[in-house]
Amino acid sequence: MLFVISQSDKAEPTSGGERLSTEQKQNISRKICLLHELFQPVYPACAVSVRLQWGLRVMAERMIKCLPREASSPVVAQLQHPFRTTVVREQARSDFGETVGAVLDSVSAFPLIPGPVRAVIQAVRNTVISVARAVWDFFF
């Protein structure tokens, strides 16, 4: 879960310009701190202004970190290129590797898998994860 404070360009004192003023940014920061003091949320919060394209990259980064690891790569594939920051891509790549590892662990733990096959799966697990991370760009 991620809390998003939208329309941040309407924060006081409104300027109506093409950028948030320093005072608006400070006011938004204070409101996020107040939100944390009052509600003590477990989940992160961020502020955005779609009209000004402000805060969207931070929101994308936080959103990818909040998603289940199985969902991060497909979501990154849908993001517009300016929002596919290095942080976003690395998080999704790491999640993809962890997901592949979890699948291999589940398969090797399946009771009908013979012992020698289980040993092979466990032996190649880290290599398969490394390859999965290496080819992530090809798939996503």
User: What's residue 94's pLDDT?
Assistant: 97
User: What's residue 42's pLDDT?
Assistant: 86
For 138, the domain range is 69-140
User: What's residue 1's pLDDT?
Assistant: 87
Same domain? 73 vs 50: no
Q: Could you say which residues of the chain have pLDDT below 50? A: none
Q: Is residue 59 part of a domain?
A: no
Which structure tokens are listed for 2?
Answer: 């991620």
Same domain? 30 vs 76: no
Q: Is the full-model pTM beyond 0.85?
A: no
d(CA 57, CA 40): 24
pLDDT mean across residues, the chain: 93
Same domain? 49 vs 76: no
